[in-house]
Amino acid sequence: MAKFTIRVYGIASHNGKILLSKERIKGAYYLKFPGGGLEFGEGTRDALTREFLEEANAEVEVLEHFYTTDFFQPSTFHAEPIQVLSVYYKVRLFYPNQPLISDDKQTFIWIDEGQLTPDRMDLPIDQKVVELWQFRKQAP
């Protein structure tokens, strides 16, 4: 039987900066968008709100849908074959200047939008999202 994991991520932009998460997963650090896994019974927006509260102690308003994976991506983190389906939303932090929770497993950083390039991101779907972000910023 085919297995899937559904992930939800937020793209938070404030004063020309984008919020990223540097997260330790299976002993290595990955630079990625903040977010995580959808739990059974949740909608994607509720899951994203929960993830921001749990991981960063940050309240967010989930704005518009930005992207859903449209290509096959196997999980980097599972031994058995699992397909990743990721849903990205633009989000607004209610208190963007408040310090975000950081620990030895995860830290949050704001980077200048001009420094956000696909090759800075460690996960293939995030790389695709950065490409789309750059393209949409350049579009008239």
Q: Is the dihedral of CA 62, 63, 65, 69 positive or negative?
A: negative
The answer on pLDDT for 102 being more than 90 is no
pLDDT in tens, 45-60: 999 999 999 999 999 9
> 67 to each of 14, 128, 137, how far by Cα in Å?
19, 9, 15
As a whole number, mean pLDDT of residues 54-69 equals: 96
pTM for the whole structure: 0.93
- Which domains are present in the chain? 4-138 (3.90.79.10)
128-138 pLDDT, tens digit per residue, is 999 999 988 77
Alpha carbon separation from 98 to 59, 86, 91, 103 (Å, rounded): 10, 27, 16, 16
